[in-house]
Amino acid sequence: MNNPTINSMSVQGASRREFLKGSAALLGGLVIGFYLPGKGGRAYAADAPPKQVYPPNAFIRIATDDSITIVVNKSEMGQGVYTSLPMLIAEELEADWSRIKVESAPVASVYNHTGFGMQLTGGSSSIPSSWEQLRRVGASARVLLVRAAAQQWGVPEAECHAENSLVNHAKSGKKLSYGKLADAAAKLPLPDNVELKLPKDFKLLGKPMKRIDTPAKINGSAQFGLDIYIPGMLTVLIARSPVFGGQVKRFSATEALKVAGVQGAYLVPSGIAVAASGFWPAKIARDMLEIEWDEGPGAALSTPQMRKEYLGLAKTPGLVARKEGDTEQGFKTAHKSVSAEYEIPYLAHAAMEPLNVVVDLKPDHCTIWTGTQAQTMDRAVAAQTAMLNPDQVEIHTTFLGGGFGRRANPRSDFVLEAVQVAMAIRQPVKVVWTREDDMQGGNYRPMWSDHIEAGVAKDGKPIAWKHTLVGQSIVADTSFEAFMTKNGIDATSVEGAANIPYMIPNLQVDLHSPKNAVPVQWWRSVGHSHTAFVVETMVDELAKLAGKDPVAYRLAMLPAASRYRGVLQLAASKAGWGKKKLPAGHALGVAVHESFHSYVAEVAEVSLENGKIRIHRVVAAVDCGMVINPDGVQQQLESAIVYGLSAALHGAITLDKGRVMQSNFHDYAPLRFSEMPQVEVHIVQSNLPPSGIGEPGTPPIAPAVANALFTLTGKRLRRMPFDQESFA
């Protein structure tokens, strides 16, 4: 039996059309254009009005050899969409899973995210936004294949059924494969309505499935953006300003141009671009450039000074993001209270594959190969920059060597710059960011300072809570600002803080959104990456203040129907909370948080080894509604926990005179193999529609570890990363 395979979507120098021709030849048959003119409208999601019909031909190609190519409109960055999204289609299509191939979608409105209205992978939304849509796509195609078979045989459709890429007529014993029916099916009108399967009839959904992209990722054949080579291409490195917002005042490339293999040095908006026959000569030459910068106001930024200003702001009233009752009154009646300051740094995404873009710019056409999460925005920016229409810009989405949000830049920074370079050089270019460029290139998770004051009543229950957050808005001055900011409050700044689930009668959450030259961006779990830490460590502190068990304390504050309860109880029980005898010097900590409509509780077991924090085990429980691929959920939890632990223990980007002080993995250290805890993932069974899974595992890990460390040492960690603390 064949395994599902990946079609390499980016063939050197070949246009998409040429490539499709090529792949047809390779299959030894005709690729059937499953063309189905759209008509009528139907709901694509249970709670959404009818919007658009999704013709199966945009997502499914059935070849005469019965192979089925699923065109995936989300970017594969590790989160498993090249497996989970085809599962949605294959389930309803009744397709033979072993013959499924995957191809990345070109940019076209039919591939728009059903919620965002543009092609975008982010917000842990690929499954929830495709859940209805892609099952309908699969079901529509199945209906047409069955209809085509019934017509050919002259039998009622109701007597035919589809299974494993075959249509069968039980009475006559006749069967026809999808490959033989695709041509006739393609000529039939789209069905007006299709029935979707009941969960009890699922054959694929809910079963652990191996990733379709694994074979290509273990033999070196998977193509990432950096692996694209096209004829006549030059490799370009850019010397960018050492300070955000700086500009080139003057430069000399005399020495740089002497390096063998160097083609030229060009002034581009972001700095000086050095073009060469390969990475190495470009790098040598770039290091030899002499550049004088006009650094601008960014040169005044230093982390200690910014921290002081932020902490000052945190003690003043901001814009009110949420208000319940009267906190002033609440504190007056509080039996005990606590007040604390939190310091949370800028973070780089530091995906393993540094940013890169290949651009082939012709007078009337622009072809781009890159690992992007944001095709529609990137295409619009590329078109505007190159003075083309969007339909003259083609984007090939390669595999992404990690995304974590960085590859969905609201300003399309890396694509914009690469097109500017192509315009200056007038030859095909591959713009490569070195690790240092990537690390120092900004677009960080914002730095935050929070001030929080909380009080409990005599019975230990929280009676007042006042939380003030200070940090840059991610969407400020971007096209997202209009619909993600309300009354001056960026929803992503206060998510996880303004909507805390605990019942507290007097509660206020204020926000300050200072502006500065450091570009900021969404980073796996966005606002939750910082708010969960602040909220869940403070709640833990209140539990201790009240002399209550942290799990019981939280449960007592959560409404009966709350989905937080299920995950909290499951994680606690699986971790042996309050029951398991821990080795001497070990302690447990817990945290629970909702993000992207999914609920995750994590229990961390920690100790100190020679004053160094050691995480032994993490027990996670997740409620993300119905599960498509349990193995995928498990992978994403493992991944999100490691991503969160890297930040909790080690992650910080700091500035001195506007310069980023970290440059590579020696001073911005992701979690290593030797630091890896054992991770257990438990899934809450649910019949609710699926919610996000790529990000929700990240927020609870930092507070779970901090809470465990408090139990262990009596020391409250209110600054990230934790490796700056001394436990001597």
x/- binding map, residues 157-196, to other proteins, per CB under 8 A? Answer: ----------------------------------------
Residue from 179, 345, 403, 721 in contact with other proteins (CB under 8 A): 403
- Collapse the DSSP code of 308 into the 3-class scheme (helix H, G, I; strand E, B; otherwise coil) and give the result: helix
| Comparison of 590 and 671: residue with beta carbon closer to other proteins | 671
The reply on whether position 673 binds other proteins by CB under 8 A is yes
Please identify, among the stretches 36-44, 75-83, 246-254, 558-566, the one whose residues bind other proteins according to the rule CB under 8 A: 75-83
Phi-psi region of 494 (alpha: psi -120 to 50; beta: other; left: phi over 0): alpha
The answer to whether the beta carbons of residues 537 and 500 sit under 8 Å apart is no
Least Cβ distance, residue 638 to other proteins (angstroms): 5
Among 339, 396, 342, which residue's Cα sits nearest to residue 372?
Answer: 396
| Comparison of 82 and 502: residue with beta carbon closer to other proteins | 82
The answer to whether the beta carbons of residues 38 and 132 sit under 8 Å apart is no
Please identify, among the stretches 145-153, 297-305, 399-407, 705-713, the one whose residues bind other proteins according to the rule CB under 8 A: 399-407
Sequence-ordered alpha helix ranges (H) in 403-515? 413-425, 435-440, 481-484, 491-494
Distance, CA of 270 to CA of 530 (rounded, Å): 30
Task: For residue 174, give the H/E element and its range.
Answer: strand 174-177
| Comparison of 43 and 352: residue with beta carbon closer to other proteins | 352
The reply on whether position 639 binds other proteins by CB under 8 A is yes
Please identify, among the stretches 70-78, 189-197, 460-468, 580-588, the one whose residues bind other proteins according to the rule CB under 8 A: 70-78
Please identify, among the stretches 174-182, 215-223, 597-605, 620-628, the one whose residues bind other proteins according to the rule CB under 8 A: 215-223
The reply on whether position 214 binds other proteins by CB under 8 A is yes
The reply on whether position 541 binds other proteins by CB under 8 A is no
Distance, CA of 235 to CA of 421 (rounded, Å): 11
The reply on whether position 79 binds other proteins by CB under 8 A is yes
Could you give the dihedral angle defined by the CA atoms of residues 151, 154, 157 and 158, in that order, rounded to the nearest 10 degrees?
180
The reply on whether position 569 binds other proteins by CB under 8 A is no
Least Cβ distance, residue 616 to other proteins (angstroms): 13
Please identify, among the stretches 28-36, 166-174, 295-303, 669-677, the one whose residues bind other proteins according to the rule CB under 8 A: 669-677
Please identify, among the stretches 92-100, 291-299, 480-488, 639-647, the one whose residues bind other proteins according to the rule CB under 8 A: 639-647
Residue from 116, 153, 202, 279 in contact with other proteins (CB under 8 A): 279
Phi-psi region of 415 (alpha: psi -120 to 50; beta: other; left: phi over 0): alpha
Please identify, among the stretches 124-132, 226-234, 247-255, 591-599, the one whose residues bind other proteins according to the rule CB under 8 A: 226-234
The reply on whether position 576 binds other proteins by CB under 8 A is no
The reply on whether position 249 binds other proteins by CB under 8 A is no
- Residue 254 burial (C-beta neighbours within 10 Å; 0-12, 13-18, 19+): exposed
| Comparison of 235 and 372: residue with beta carbon closer to other proteins | 235
| Comparison of 70 and 77: residue with beta carbon closer to other proteins | 77
The reply on whether position 258 binds other proteins by CB under 8 A is no
Please identify, among the stretches 41-49, 325-333, 665-673, 712-720, the one whose residues bind other proteins according to the rule CB under 8 A: 665-673
How many other C-beta atoms are found inside a 10 Å radius of the C-beta of residue 16? 15
- Collapse the DSSP code of 119 into the 3-class scheme (helix H, G, I; strand E, B; otherwise coil) and give the result: coil
Residue from 60, 72, 77, 347 in contact with other proteins (CB under 8 A): 77
Burial 618-631 (b: 16+ CB within 10 A, else e): bbbbbbbbbbbbeb
The reply on whether position 692 binds other proteins by CB under 8 A is no
The reply on whether position 640 binds other proteins by CB under 8 A is yes
| Comparison of 63 and 621: residue with beta carbon closer to other proteins | 621
The reply on whether position 223 binds other proteins by CB under 8 A is yes
x/- binding map, residues 344-383, to other proteins, per CB under 8 A? Answer: ------xxxxx-----------------------------
For residue 26, what are the contacts with CB-CB under 8 A and spacing of at least 6? none
Q: Which two tokens stand for residue 699?
A: 């927020």
Distance, CA of 277 to CA of 263 (rounded, Å): 7
Residue from 631, 661, 713, 719 in contact with other proteins (CB under 8 A): 631
Distance, CA of 49 to CA of 59 (rounded, Å): 22
How many helices and strands, by DSSP H and E, does the chain display?
18, 29
The reply on whether position 665 binds other proteins by CB under 8 A is yes
Residue from 95, 359, 507, 671 in contact with other proteins (CB under 8 A): 671
Strand runs (DSSP E) across 549-658, as ranges?
587-595, 598-609, 612-623, 655-656
Please identify, among the stretches 162-170, 302-310, 591-599, 659-667, the one whose residues bind other proteins according to the rule CB under 8 A: 659-667
- Residue 666 burial (C-beta neighbours within 10 Å; 0-12, 13-18, 19+): exposed
The answer to whether the beta carbons of residues 645 and 722 sit under 8 Å apart is no
The answer to whether the beta carbons of residues 595 and 525 sit under 8 Å apart is yes
- Residue 685 burial (C-beta neighbours within 10 Å; 0-12, 13-18, 19+): exposed
Distance, CA of 254 to CA of 620 (rounded, Å): 58
First vs last Cα of the chain: how many Å apart?
A: 59
Please identify, among the stretches 27-35, 224-232, 513-521, 578-586, the one whose residues bind other proteins according to the rule CB under 8 A: 224-232
- Largest Cα separation within the chain, whole Å, is 84
The answer to whether the beta carbons of residues 74 and 82 sit under 8 Å apart is no
Least Cβ distance, residue 214 to other proteins (angstroms): 6
Distance, CA of 289 to CA of 253 (rounded, Å): 5
Least Cβ distance, residue 643 to other proteins (angstroms): 7
The reply on whether position 274 binds other proteins by CB under 8 A is no
The reply on whether position 278 binds other proteins by CB under 8 A is yes
Please give the size of the binding site for other proteins, defined by CB under 8 A: 62
At residue 134, what is the residue type?
L
What is the DSSP pairing of strand 356-362 with strand 365-370?
Answer: antiparallel
Please identify, among the stretches 87-95, 329-337, 400-408, 414-422, the one whose residues bind other proteins according to the rule CB under 8 A: 400-408
Distance, CA of 682 to CA of 455 (rounded, Å): 34
The reply on whether position 215 binds other proteins by CB under 8 A is yes
Least Cβ distance, residue 221 to other proteins (angstroms): 7
Binding site for other proteins (CB under 8 A): 76-80, 210-211, 213-224, 226-227, 229, 235, 260, 277-281, 350-354, 399-404, 434-435, 631, 635, 638-643, 646, 664-666, 670-674, 676, 678-679
